[in-house]
Structure 1
Amino acid sequence: MKLDKQILEEKIRKHRETKSCSESTLMGLCETAEADITTEQMTKLACGFAGGMGGTFDEGTCGAVTGALMANGILNDEPAVIKANAKEIFNTFKEEYGTVRCDKITDHGKDKSPCVDCCVFIANKVADLLDE
């Protein structure tokens, strides 16, 4: 499946105006892929992962990563592929940002300036994996 990365980025940037990183990444990927899941379902699925986990900004995994992992599961059919991709998604993000922890990336939620770029970066990685 080939996703248009320009459309993907536009969707993520638009969602990030009002949605969390987990929601924006999941929605951007699933909408671009025209997945069979509603906006309401995606919001309910992803909202608990916002701000590291439940908005705590405390040692929780970055929402861009969790959103990407959820989309990976929705957009792939094979459990072995989902697991292998999940590991690559996690490792790629950690290599790029030095951590997957929301609190470290955002200074405990005080600086959300890296958030959109984190979402776009890891969504593009998922797009690459879907294209393989």
Structure 2
Amino acid sequence: MTRTPWGSSDRAATFGYVARELARRRIAFLFAREHLQGERIGPQLQRTFSGAYIANERLDRQAAEQLLQRGEADAVAFGKLFIANPDLPARLRSGAPLNEPRPEYFYQGGAAGYTDYPALAAAAHAARGA
């Protein structure tokens, strides 16, 4: 089920109700896209919903770690960062630099912006000048 906040005058009440009703139906997880700036309802949804709460939307390594450490999400998901970093889990584990996504190429077809990002090993190799 996909829901968006547009058109709701009270997001906390609307989505709190949705989270409670989904929990009653024993849905396994709730995946929410919410900006970390401004009024957030993610922490309320995470407390209200009995399944796993997965946060996503413009997360970087630091924001994702903070959400998890504060208990505001059970898991996090990355979209654009995964497109730009096909080896994202290894980069996050090692603290390696991340490739920046190039959204100007999204949905344009072709390899540019999808499959032409350097993998960690290739990037390290190029940095050594080999």
Q: TM-score, normalised by structure 1?
A: 0.27
Q: TM-score, normalised by structure 2?
A: 0.28
Higher-RCO chain (CA-CA 8 Å, sequence separation at least 6): 1
Q: Specify which structure has the higher proportion of strand.
A: 2
The higher radius of gyration belongs to 2
